[in-house]
């Protein structure tokens, strides 16, 4: 990221203003508030959770929601609410980190491909389109298979699954901006390619990428839950929403609360992330720029 | 009227064939149906790479065939595509 000493770049100022503007509507307030709440719950998990997420109590296995286990217990007698709260940590951090990796790599590749063009662009875009033609869950599965199960490989798998999206979007922005008058003027003033890319092209391409990244965090949470569901993500006893649902399928009719509550939490999280992303698009007024690719 | 409205539907539908197969991975796993998806997951769990490669090859072929069928269907419906190709 480029740091301007005197004043923030236009798109940075725009983004910071628009985040506040996205809170303006009722939908933005509800979805944004929900997201902030989830992040706070994830950060303060040890203080909020009523029980330890890993402590088993086989005498209290499969207890229906009641006091003191507000959302019931699973097949090992672990408190579902506590596991959900700690699971927020896993899901949110894995998904957010993966998207940050994906954005950094995607923007670098896309900017280089869009700016330099030629054979390099063709090779990069062919490889990227290759990953784009498969469903994201398949790409993620393949990479977890190569790297081995675990949270780190889940992170990289999600990052690779969404790489194509960011590369294509950045490239489209760069190609569009490259022929604008102010870039021509900068070139004629004798600026080096690195200066043009870092100072003029990337800051202007940032806003749509950040919004798409925001929406991708929602998809990343679902993907993380799916990988956890297959047993390829978080390894026990680390709680993850997907892994909790997976253990709940065995006793779907016996104790449905084990599978219903993680599902509800995933749904609420993804819906609020997507709604807030939509509000952000509206506030930034960049719907056309996102659609053009 | 209908052929005109149908064109984007055919395009998207053809592109979605690969995605449907990918989604089937989850459905097959959840409901324990034998199929390409559950085979893939099982092979991944056992580190049986030749089987994984075979599954992915079949999925890639399905994506390619789906796209091809979509293109052909579009050519048969849209004279503009037909004329420009010949």
- Please report the pLDDT score of residue A15 as a whole number: 58
Please give the pLDDT value at position B86.
53
Q: Which residues of B18-38 are buried (b: 16+ CB within 10 A; e: fewer)?
A: bbebbebbbebbeeeeeebbb
Contacts of B22 in chain A (CB under 8 A): 134-138
Which residue among B25, B26, B52 sits closest to A145, beta carbon to beta carbon? B52
Instruction: Note the pLDDT of residue B1.
Output: 67
Query: Cα distance from B39 to chain A (closest Cα, Å)?
Result: 13
Verify whether the Cβ–Cβ distance B19 to A231 is below 8 Å: no
**Among all chains, which residue has been given the structure tokens 């994906």?**
A102
From chain B, the residues in CB contact with A226 under 8 A are 26
Please tell me whether the peptide bond between B29 and the residue prior to it is cis, using omega within 30 degrees of 0.
no
Does the pLDDT of residue B62 top 60, yes or no? yes
**What pLDDT is stored for residue A155 in this prediction?**
92
With CB atoms and an 8 Å threshold, state whether B26 touches A137.
Answer: yes
In this prediction, residue A102 carries a pLDDT of: 94
Calpha distance B51→B59 (Å, rounded): 12
Contact B41 A141 (CB under 8 A): yes
Three-point CA angle A276, A282, A283, nearest 5° = 85
Q: Which residues of A7-33 are buried (b: 16+ CB within 10 A; e: fewer)?
A: eebebbebbeebbebbbebebbeebbe
Among B23, B29, B30, beta carbon nearest to A135: B23
Q: Quickly tell me which residue has 């053009």 as its tokens.
A: A292
What is residue A28's predicted lDDT score, i.e. its pLDDT?
85
Q: Choose among A35, A17, A68: nearest CA to A207.
A: A17
Q: Mean of the per-residue pLDDT values for chain B?
A: 80
pLDDT number for residue A10: 66
Q: What is the pLDDT of residue A210?
A: 84
pTM of the model: 0.81
Which residues in chain A show pLDDT less than 70? 1-18, 287-293
Residue of higher predicted confidence among A172 and B21: A172
The answer, for B37 touching chain A at a CB cutoff of 8 Å, is no
- CA dihedral A75→A223→A96→A247, nearest 10 degrees, is 0
């Amino acid at each position: 990221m480029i740091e301007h000493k005197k004043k923030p770049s236009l798109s940075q100022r725009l983004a910071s203003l628009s985040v506040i503007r996205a809170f303006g509507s009722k939908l933005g307030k509800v979805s944004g508030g929900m997201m902030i709440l989830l992040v706070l719950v994830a950060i303060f998990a040890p203080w909020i959770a009523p029980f330890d997420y890993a402590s088993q109590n086989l005498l209290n296995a499969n207890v229906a929601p009641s006091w003191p286990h507000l959302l019931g217990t699973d097949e090992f007698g672990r408190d579902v609410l506590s596991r959900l709260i700690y699971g927020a940590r896993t899901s949110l951090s894995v998904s957010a980190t993966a998207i940050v990796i994906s954005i950094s790599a995607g923007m670098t590749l896309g900017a280089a491909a869009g700016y330099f063009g030629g054979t390099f662009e063709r090779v990069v875009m062919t490889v990227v389109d290759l990953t784009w033609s498969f469903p994201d869950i398949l790409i993620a599965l393949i990479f977890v298979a190569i790297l081995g199960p675990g949270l780190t490989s889940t992170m990289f798998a999600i990052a690779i699954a969404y790489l194509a999206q960011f590369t294509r979007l950045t490239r489209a922005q760069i190609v569009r901006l490259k022929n604008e008058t102010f870039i021509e003027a900068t070139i004629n003033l004798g600026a080096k390619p690195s200066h043009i890319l870092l100072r003029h092209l990337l800051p202007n391409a940032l806003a749509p990428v950040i919004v798409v990244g925001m929406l991708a965090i929602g998809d990343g949470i679902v993907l993380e839950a799916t990988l956890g569901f297959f047993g390829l993500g978080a390894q026990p006893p680390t709680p993850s929403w997907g892994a909790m649902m997976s253990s709940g399928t065995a006793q779907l009719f016996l104790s449905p609360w084990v599978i219903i509550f993680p599902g509800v939490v995933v749904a609420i999280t993804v819906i609020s992330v997507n709604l807030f992303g939509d509000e952000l698009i509206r506030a930034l007024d960049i719907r056309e720029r996102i659609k053009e690719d | 009227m209908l052929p005109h409205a149908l064109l984007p539907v055919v395009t998207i539908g053809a592109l979605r064939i690969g995605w449907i197969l990918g989604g089937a991975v989850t459905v097959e796993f959840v409901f324990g149906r034998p199929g390409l998806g559950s085979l893939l997951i099982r092979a991944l769990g056992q580190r049986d790479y030749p089987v994984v490669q075979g599954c992915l090859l079949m999925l890639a072929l399905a994506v390619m065939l789906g796209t091809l069928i979509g293109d052909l269907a579009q050519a048969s419906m849209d004279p503009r595509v037909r004329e420009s190709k010949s």
